[in-house]
């Protein structure tokens, strides 16, 4: 097992899950572009905000928000600055029975190459430290980053079963389990938590309720206590994307049966970079993030297509750029 591949012992996780203290970062759900909350997920008062990627066909271009720009919503951090690391977490012994679409390998290849790419570079126009509600970063000093080498590790937490259809609180607890384990082993430090994404992958047939009918994935944040101090982390609910077929990207725009794996994965990655703890980063007036505004475009400017990274060629959707077309805004597959 390489230094970037980890397996977490069941005994260690058991200690963490009962010792962690979860604190809701904000109440309710912000559903991107007017989508409704998925039944069985994140519907309880006091749950942190989660922003959903709609299924194919749910919304047209620009995510229901039209051509209105993204604006800064006052979070600190509102975007990921400096370092940017992705931990791919494969949760539950259900993963031991196989990975029929090879999603784990595709994810590792994609995230090993996406950092520093022109596809992801549009996030670098967004910033923090400006007036809330502002859409222009001309006077800013701190911007979202696009460093190379964002894949940090693939973590197998497969010693015991994950919940059959996990709820938001359970997914958040798993993110805390992994973060606490990495902190205790000095793999990461507390200063790293503001630029780390934990992607919680559920196995085929084991996805949260609403997947494939109301959403393809979503990202959120959760707060916890470690060594007496409080911290917040970003995490993504990443179902087994090919289980949803065409609803979450299979063969979208002729890009292949596995296209949704990186279309959806890239969508959530770019959104977390620009709105790390929803909804304090960059969103438009309807609550749509840079990925939501450009989801499922099939033709014309910003249509989903293959992009070539250092690790291969992968299907992706476009991301919203306030700067495109002389500041009018639009969906782009590369930047500048």
Could you write out the three-class secondary structure of the chain? CCCCEEECCHHHHHHHHHHCCEECCCCCCCCHHHCCCCCCCCCCCCCCCEEEECCCCCCCHHHHCCCCCCEECCCCCCCCCCCCEEEEEEECHHHHHCCCCCHHHHHHHHHHHHCCCCCHHHHHHCEECCCCCCCCCCCCCEECCCCCCCEEEEEEECCCCCCCCCCHHHHHHHHHHHHHHHHHCCCCCHHHHHHEEEEEEECCCCCCCCECCCECEEEEEEEEEECCEEEEEEEEEECCHHHHHHHHCCCHHHCCCCHHHHHHHHHHHHHHHHCCCCCCCEECCCCCCCCHHHCCCCCCCCCCEEEEECCEEEEECCEEECCHHHHCCEEECCCC
Categorize the per-residue pLDDT at 152 as very low, low, confident or very high, splitting at 50, 70 and 90.
Answer: very high
pLDDT digits (tens, 9 = 90+) for 170-196: 999 999 999 999 999 999 999 999 999
Question: What integer is the mean pLDDT of 217-231?
Answer: 98
Task: Check residue 334 and give its pLDDT.
Answer: 98
Task: Check residue 66 and give its pLDDT.
Answer: 80
Q: Which of 54-58, 143-147, 225-229, 325-329 comes out lowest in average pLDDT?
A: 54-58
The model carries a pTM of: 0.89
Q: What average pLDDT is seen over the chain?
A: 88
Stronger pLDDT, 147 or 6, i.e. the higher one = 147
Categorize the per-residue pLDDT at 242 as very low, low, confident or very high, splitting at 50, 70 and 90.
Answer: very high
């Amino acid at each position: 097992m390489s230094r970037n591949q980890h397996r977490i012992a069941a005994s260690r996780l058991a200690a963490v899950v009962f010792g962690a203290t979860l604190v809701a970062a904000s109440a309710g759900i912000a559903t991107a572009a007017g989508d409704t909350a998925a039944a069985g997920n994140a519907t309880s008062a006091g749950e942190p905000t989660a922003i959903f990627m709609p299924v194919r066909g749910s919304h047209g271009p620009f995510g229901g928000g039209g051509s209105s720009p993204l604006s800064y919503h006052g979070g600190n951090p509102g975007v990921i600055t400096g370092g940017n690391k992705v931990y791919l977490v494969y949760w539950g012994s259900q993963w031991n029975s196989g990975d029929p679409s090879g999603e784990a390998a595709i994810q590792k290849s994609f995230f090993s190459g996406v950092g520093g790419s022109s596809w992801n570079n549009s996030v670098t126009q967004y910033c923090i430290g400006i007036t809330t509600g502002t859409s222009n970063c001309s006077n800013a000093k701190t911007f979202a980053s696009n460093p190379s080498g964002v894949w940090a590790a693939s973590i197998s937490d497969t010693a015991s079963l994950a919940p059959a259809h996990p709820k938001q609180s359970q997914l958040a607890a798993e993110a805390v389990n992994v973060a606490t384990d990495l902190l205790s082993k000095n793999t990461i430090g507390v200063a790293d938590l503001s630029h780390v994404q934990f992607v919680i992958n559920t196995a085929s047939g084991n996805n949260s309720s609403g997947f494939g009918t109301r959403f393809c994935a979503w990202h959120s944040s959760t707060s916890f206590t470690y060594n007496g101090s409080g911290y917040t982390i970003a995490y993504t609910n990443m179902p087994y994307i090919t289980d949803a077929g065409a609803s979450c990207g299979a063969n979208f725009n002729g890009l292949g049966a596995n296209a949704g794996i990186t279309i959806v994965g890239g969508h959530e990655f770019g959104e977390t970079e620009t709105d790390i703890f929803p909804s304090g980063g960059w969103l438009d007036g309807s609550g749509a993030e840079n990925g939501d505004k450009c989801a499922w475009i099939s033709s014309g400017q910003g249509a989903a297509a293959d992009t070539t990274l250092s690790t291969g060629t992968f299907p992706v959707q476009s991301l919203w750029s306030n700067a495109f077309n002389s500041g009018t805004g639009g969906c782009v597959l590369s930047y500048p």
